[in-house]
Structure 1
Amino acid sequence: MRKVSFAEFGGPDVLQLIDAEEPHAGPGRIRIAVRAAGVNPVDWRIREGQKLGAHPTELPSGVGLDAAGVVDEVGEGVEGVEVGDRVFGEGACTYAEFTVLSAWARMPEGLSFEEAAGYPSVVETALRIIREVGVQPGQTLLVSGASGGVGSAVLQIARDRGITVIGTAGAANQDYLRGLGALPTTYGEGWVDRVRQLGRIDAALDLAGSGVIRELVELTGDPQKVITIADLGAPDLGVRFSGVAGSVPAALSVAADLISRGRLHIPVERTYTLAEAAAAHVDSQAGHARGRRVIVP
């Protein structure tokens, strides 16, 4: 089978499309024929060699955590899923024609494989950081870098829970944020004052790592009311970096429920082939997404 791999840490150019042996489903696992794989910032952070405790990496390594596809092997002890089922979930080395999943759920009706591949990690992350930051119904949450995959999920999950969200994004994405139920504003000079004009901030999330931690602490009045998933230097300012995943099966269940109720939809901004994985990483690192990027084998 074909899969994307890298033998050394570095820039996007270290990614190679290689022929590899097919993986097989061990106990408690399933294998899928991949129809689409989600592109996440953690993918290129791992490729660069960033020290992410939740994702130790041995070289050579495959790439990717999220995927959607058709079950074609069911491991020992697995119940409730059969060969031929359409599922989405999380595993390892998902930029490939086949991958093994450790967590999965059946795809909701009407969801394409490309859309489904964009949900697992971002919904788990969104649920985790909303919980960790402690924001409650009736309060106001500020989301810095709100238009990407995690931001899109945070905005919609928060809205479903009765939380007001103020989101920062580029000028081109203001209507997109508004459509997801957020009060939008642009970043750049004067953004702190623009946020203050929109309301009192009870908690804040940094999703872009754009050097705004001090301002988020200023707006909330307490570093414990700020969480980042993108700024590795934030702990120096007393702000928690959230990087250890919670229950992925539980997150997939929540995602399926929200999608089925029409309360969650994350659009696919662009698809790439396996051979275009490096380009997908370049675009992901550049940011400014509106939704998700996915790879289609």
Structure 2
Amino acid sequence: MKKGRRALVGWQGVVAEVPEDWNLVSIGGNESSGYFRVDSPGTMSLEAKWSTEPRNVDLRRQLEAFLSQIARKCRKRKVNFEHKIKAKDDGSLSFSWRSDRKGVGLLYRCDLCKRIVIAQLSGAKADDISGCASYILPTVADHSEDGWQTWAVYGLVAEVPPGYKLEKHKLMSGYIQLVFRKANNRLTIERWALADVVLKKHSLTEWYADAVRHDLRRFKYQIEEIDFDGEPAVELTGERAGFKILKAFPDILMLRRPAMYLNACAWACEKSNRIYSVQVIHTSREQIFDDILDRVECH
């Protein structure tokens, strides 16, 4: 298989590069334990699983348990299963298996984030699994060099600052929302499809003001039309309004800085025909808004 153009897939900081026409079909879990699966248009799949384990965990035993699950499924289908495991110089384990399908993969433990990651490429007997794995598996990573966490789902690619944990998410064909929290600070990254349809009867300013009105009802803010990297955009700046600041008193009494300030930006990307939004509700110390904007890819 030719390399061609690639797309990034990432969840909870575990990322991989796959051919552009592969599709994310399954995703779940949290930072401590999770998975994702990406399917080719044909019969190949990339799976990545991770779990937090103690330093002295037996990696070979972990891999044997993973392969035993595949073997059990093969026995149910009454097909033979065989596998090989090879220890590598860096402490990781590579493996291959064969039944009515075949697969190759790797298992390693990251001492920095304390996660064990298993990544495997599987497919039909006729598929060039080894050739495809030679350029996909080396792209699997579980953390970035600067501590920011990469998220890449259905065309939304963004990096999130250290300390922010996923609180909730929505993954739909026309709308994606990722909400993160760090203490009282909240970061929301959104993506809407079909921007030309969404903005057919309204300007971006009118549409976005209506879209955020409910969520930002406790804030007093200004909306300004701007240019963002050559794209039409709107910027919101503000803070908690009037007597509603009383809602922050519990945080003040607990000696926690309340999240008083709002920064947001939404832009329509002509090339991808999508609308993107980054919204940060933060304390005076959390000045990360511009850095986050710089790390959101829209096309």
The alignment's TM-score, normalised by the length of structure 2, stands at: 0.24
1 or 2, which has the higher helix percentage?
A: 1
Which is greater in Rg? Answer: 2
The alignment's TM-score, normalised by the length of structure 1, stands at: 0.24
1 or 2, which has the higher strand percentage?
A: 2
